[in-house]
Amino acid sequence: MSRAGHSGRLPVILTIIVSLMLMVMPLPEWAMPFRPDWVALTLIYWAMMLPRTWSVGTAWMIGIVLDVAQGTILGQHALALCFIVFITVRFHLLMRVFPMQQLTATVFAILALYQFILFWINGVAGVDAPLVSYWGPVITGTLFWPVVTLLLSGVRLRAQHGR
C-alpha cells in the first residue's frame, strides 16, 4: 500500500483510539449511565463516509478491544457493533443525503438497536443492569451526533486535503 493510503487512514485510526479512550475514561457515578457510546458514533460516521475501508471487520476488532477494556462479555460489543456497522454500510448512500434532523433520527434508531443487542446478550447471560444504562447512552449519543459529525467531517476534510 502506498504512503498516501497509510496517511489517509491515520486520522481515522486516531479518532477511533480517542473514542475508545473516552469510553474507558472514569466518570462520576451519577454520569456513568449517560456516557454516549463514542465508539458506536465514530464507527457509524466512518462506515457511512468510507464504507469500503471501515466496515464490519473493523467493527469486530474494535468491539473485541472494547469488550476487553470494559471487562464485559467477550464478543458482546463486537457483535452489536458489527450489526450497526452493517446497517450503516448497507444504507450509507441513502444516509449521506439525509438532512441533519433525519440523520439524527436514524442514528437514534441505530443506537437503540445497538443497546437492544447489548440488552439481549446481557439478558441471556443473566447480567442485570438498570434500564437507564441502556437508554442513557442512546439519548446522549443522539444529542451529541451533530457535534460528532461536525468534528469528524473536519478531520475527514483535513485528511483529504493533506493538512
pLDDT of residue 1: 46
Q: Copy the grid coordinates of residue 129.
A: 443492569
Q: pLDDT of 76-117, one tens digit each?
A: 999 999 999 999 999 999 999 999 999 999 999 999 999 999
Longest CA span, the chain? 49
The identity of residue 33, as a single letter, is P
Q: Model pTM?
A: 0.93
Residue 4, pLDDT above cutoff 60: no
Assess whether pLDDT exceeds 80 at residue 145. yes
Give the domain extent around 39: 3-24+33-160
Assess whether pLDDT exceeds 60 at residue 5: no
Number of domains in the chain: 1
pLDDT digits over 29-76, tens only? 999 999 999 999 999 999 999 999 888 999 999 999 999 999 999 999
Is-contact 103 41, C-beta < 8 A?
no
d(CA 136, CA 115): 10
Is the pLDDT assigned to residue 18 strictly greater than 50? Answer: yes
